[in-house]
Amino acid sequence: MKKLILMLLVVAIMSHVGCTEKEPTVNIPVVVESAFKAKFPNATKAKWEMENKTKFEVNFNLSNEEVSANFDSAGTWLETETEIEASALPAAAQATINADFANFKINEASKIERVKSGTCYEAEIEKGEETFDVLLTTDGKVLSKTKVEEKEEDKED
């Protein structure tokens, strides 16, 4: 009986350990974290990740908005992306989507501010099985159109 209880206890512990995966810890340089706090002093719920070996991304809340920002390893701010309602896209950007991507539905939209190129907007648009990320200027010029590949978890459903 003791062996059975011990085995059940071991199985319970092992299954608990397997289900409580932790996100990998990202070591943020002090200069990067300081730059973030200086640029976004009212940010809450910051979660950091590595974009690549020299670029850090932080996802956070700011005034009840979901925001992400990128900094390089020297603490230089590179870009900020703020989720917005599709209706908040500039009228020229909406007109371009309606004209150039007829019958596509806007799933998500965001405002992107970049240190090098200023403000632009991104819209994830979908029609049937096709999904694209379209990057537009404030005056509606298409900067890029990228096909969004189906995510692995979506394929399994």
List, for residues 92-119, the tens digit of each pLDDT value: 999 999 999 999 999 999 999 998 889 9
Residue 144 within a domain: yes
Let me know whether 64 and 41 are in one domain.
yes
Q: What is the tally of structural domains in the chain?
A: 2
pLDDT band of 53, cuts 50, 70, 90: confident
76 domain residue, yes or no? yes
Region class of 121: left (phi > 0), else alpha (psi between -120 and 50), else beta: beta
- Encode pLDDT of 24-45 as tens digits: 567 899 999 999 999 999 999 9
Whether 20 is covered by a domain: the verdict is no
CATH number reported for the structural domain that contains residue 106 in this entry:
3.10.450.360
Residues 68 and 91 in one domain: no
Domain range spanning residue 104? 85-149
Q: Return the exposure string of 10-45: e unless at least 16 CB atoms fall within 10 Å of the residue's CB, then b.
A: eeeeeeeeeeeeeeeeeebeeebbebbeeebeebee
* pTM of the predicted model over 0.85: no
Residue 3 lies in a domain: no
Please report whether residue 9 resides in a domain.
no
Residues 89 and 145 in one domain: yes
